[in-house]
């Protein structure tokens, strides 16, 4: 019943100079893992080649040098992160503050359990001095998307009395992101565990109780 329509050997072209897609895919997939695990400098082209099951010269036939390989890999991975979609602004804006917080919390809960995302964040931050353009790409494609959505929510909910929607959006997002960094990347979960649900509840209290305030 399951017919694999995928052509594993040859497929589309990615420009005037076509490569067999499978090899390039092998390299990209393996290089991502090795780079995410070791960072840029500690990753050798030999290890990438071994992990990809190709010989080193093959990598150089697809990518100019180590730097270009790294940039291409991380760019690709970053673009993939916008699958983490906050795209449906219309729907979000319509839900209640409680539901809004639940939804955001759920997004970050999946992110908190995604070990590859932890490694990705670690590398983007760790290499942000040598590769600032990658950090900027991450800011623009991932962070800004989420922030704009949350910001739009507060803009459309004046009853919450939050006069700076952008800053309010940052408080929400920043609380969750820093939790992931602290607990999962820095290893805080082994020292002082803090569950994401507890942070969600605090934010719910802080945000939702505002509907009970006597209007100014």
Q: Which is nearer to DNA, 58 or 141 (CB)?
A: 58
Helices 165-180 and 196-208, packing angle to 10 deg: 160
Residue 67 engages DNA in binding (rule: CB under 7 A): yes
Q: What is the DSSP string of 124-139?
A: HHHTTTT-HHHHHHHI
Q: Which is nearer to its own copies, 93 or 185 (CB)?
A: 185
Give CA separation, 144 vs 108, 152, 188, 200, in Å: 15, 12, 26, 21
Q: Which is nearer to DNA, 54 or 180 (CB)?
A: 54
Q: Which residue in 124, 149, 150, 157 binds its own copies (CB under 8 A)?
A: 124
Position among 11, 72, 152, 199 found at the interface with its own copies (CB under 8 A): 199
Q: Closest approach of Cβ 139 to its own copies, in Å? A: 5
Q: Please say whether the beta carbons of 151 and 169 come within 8 A.
A: yes
- Residue 147 as a binder of its own copies (CB under 8 A): the answer is yes
Q: Is 201 helix (H, G, I), strand (E, B) or coil?
A: helix
Supply 188's token pair. Answer: 């805080």
* Of the candidate residues 34, 78, 127, 157, the single one contacting its own copies (CB under 8 A): 127
Q: Which of residues 133-152 bind DNA (CB under 7 A)?
A: none
* Cβ-defined contacts of 146-149 (< 8 Å, 24+): 146/84, 146/86, 146/173, 147/173, 148/86, 148/89, 149/86, 149/87, 149/89, 149/92
Contacting DNA within 2-41 (CB under 7 A): 17-20, 23-24
Are residues 172 and 203 in contact, defined by beta-carbon separation less than 8 angstroms? yes
User: Among residue numbers 16 through 55, which ones bind its own copies (CB under 8 A)?
Assistant: 37-42
Under the criterion CB under 7 A, does residue 58 sit at the interface with DNA? yes
What does the binding site for its own copies look like in residue numbers (CB under 8 A)? 37-42, 119, 122-130, 132, 135-136, 138-140, 143-144, 147, 161-164, 166-168, 170-171, 173-179, 181-182, 185-188, 190-192, 194, 198-199, 201-203, 205-207, 209-210, 212-214
């Amino acid at each position: 019943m399951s017919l694999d329509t995928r052509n594993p050997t040859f497929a589309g072209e990615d420009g005037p100079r076509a490569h067999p897609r499978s090899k390039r895919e092998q390299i990209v997939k393996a290089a991502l893992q090795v780079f995410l695990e070791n960072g840029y400098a500690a990753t050798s082209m030999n290890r990438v080649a071994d992990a990809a099951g190709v010989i080193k010269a093959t990598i150089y036939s697809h990518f100019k040098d180590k730097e270009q390989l790294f940039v291409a890999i991380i760019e690709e991975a970053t673009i993939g992160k916008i699958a983490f979609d906050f795209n449906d602004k219309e729907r979000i804006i319509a839900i209640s503050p409680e539901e809004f917080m639940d939804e955001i919390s759920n997004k970050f809960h999946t992110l908190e359990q995604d070990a590859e995302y932890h490694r990705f964040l670690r590398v983007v931050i760790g290499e942000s001095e040598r590769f600032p353009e990658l950090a900027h790409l991450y800011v623009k494609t991932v962070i800004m998307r989420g922030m704009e959505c949350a910001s739009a929510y507060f803009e459309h909910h004046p009853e919450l009395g939050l006069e700076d929607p952008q800053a309010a959006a940052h408080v929400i997002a920043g609380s969750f992101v820093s939790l992931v960094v602290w607990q999962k990347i820095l290893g805080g979960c082994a020292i002082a565990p803090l569950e994401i649900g507890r942070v969600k509840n605090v934010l719910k209290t802080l945000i939702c109780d505002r509907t009970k305030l006597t209007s100014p």
